[in-house]
Structure 1
Amino acid sequence: MKRFLAVVTRPADVDPEILARHKDYLQALLDRGSLLLSGPFGEAPGGAYLLRAADQAVAQAIVKSDPMLLDPRAEIVLREWVIRLDAMEARA
């Protein structure tokens, strides 16, 4: 499986309902094993999440289904991330 980093840019005044649906969506991804990490940025609205997917097309489909994109001002940039060093895996 490959890893993909999704970087979310959103306005500070995003609708709370969209934000709640986004969080629920990420939880569902975590529950099914597609999401590895997620969290908001400390200094600005938005955040990032790390996906596990077979390929770019699968990862892109996951991102396109993110309810955050219901706000037309939101944007999610997806990049394949080839991780060379991973402290979490090294401890496992």
Structure 2
Amino acid sequence: MYTYLMLTMRTEKFNQEHVAGHYEFLDRLQAEKRLKMFGPFSDATGGAYVIEADSLEEAAEIGHADPLVASGSSELTIKEWKLKK
């Protein structure tokens, strides 16, 4: 498994109605033990979450299933994160 930083930045099309679905999406990832941490940015421009996935392609598939991303409310940037402990 690899660790990925998922950055979601609000777009001009941001719609608050998709936020509840976004948190349900994160709850599912947490139940699957993929989600390691998450949270919004203090300036309300978006947020980030950290997941584990087998590949960048799998991380992208997961990230594009996020209702905020799928609806166009947020843009997704994915970075493989080589965390140091």
Opposite residue 65 of structure 2, the aligned amino acid is: S
Q: Secondary structure at the match of 1:24?
A: helix
Once the two structures are superposed, the pairs formed by residues 1-92 of structure 1 within 5 Å of their partners are: 1-11=1-11, 14-85=14-85
Retained in 2: the 8 A contact 1:4–1:79? yes
Q: CA RMSD in A?
A: 1.7
Opposite residue 20 of structure 2, the aligned amino acid is: A
Opposite residue 24 of structure 2, the aligned amino acid is: D
Retained in 2: the 8 A contact 1:12–1:45? no
Q: Which runs of 5+ in 2 are unaligned?
A: none
12 and 32 in structure 1: CA distance in 2 versus 1, 3 angstrom threshold: same
Retained in 2: the 8 A contact 1:7–1:48? yes
Deviation at 1:71, TM superposition (A): 3.5
Q: Give per-residue Cα distances to partners, 1:25-46, cap 9 Å, x unaligned.
A: 0111001111110000012321
What is the percentage of aligned positions where both structures have the same residue? 29
Deviation at 1:11, TM superposition (A): 4.4
Q: Which has the larger share of strand? A: 2
Retained in 1: the 8 A contact 2:14–2:72? no
Retained in 1: the 8 A contact 2:4–2:51? yes
Q: Give per-residue Cα distances to partners, 1:14-68, cap 9 Å, x unaligned.
A: 3232011011101110011111100000123210000011111111110011100
Relative contact order, higher structure (CA 8 A, sep 6+): 2
